[in-house]
Amino acid sequence: MEAIDTNILVRYITGDNEAQLRKATKLIESGQPKLVNPIVLVELSWVLNSVYKLSRKAIAEALKDISNCGYLLFKRPRPINIAIKNFNDGFDLADAMILNLNAEDGATVTYTFDKKAARLSGYKLLR
């Protein structure tokens, strides 16, 4: 199995470097799905926001597109797709990813000191 790093997805999505875009596209669309770690998606959302200044809506759409493209493999697609939906609904992607991966692993609650994260059902604010 082969996996890809965040910078490969950045080039694939933004196309800001033509030579790297061609290489990334050839790799991703080779016919053999490439593994994408959930951390890569969190980093990708950060890069697209902080470096490329994309809106939340544009980032959520890009995440949804790559999660459904068929070229990429997510070992745990259900919690990843829920986290992307949570992100689209206004929550932080990292917080949503943590919560949904924990739930997939059997956690009934995820404790946090983060008041904003605690608005997401499944988190419990530790007081």
Instruction: Flag residues of the chain having pLDDT under 50.
Output: none
Assign 12 to helix, strand or coil: helix
pLDDT at 65: 93
Per-residue pLDDT at 107: 97
The pLDDT, as a whole number, for residue 59 is 97
Q: Quick one: tokens of 75? A: 């070992």
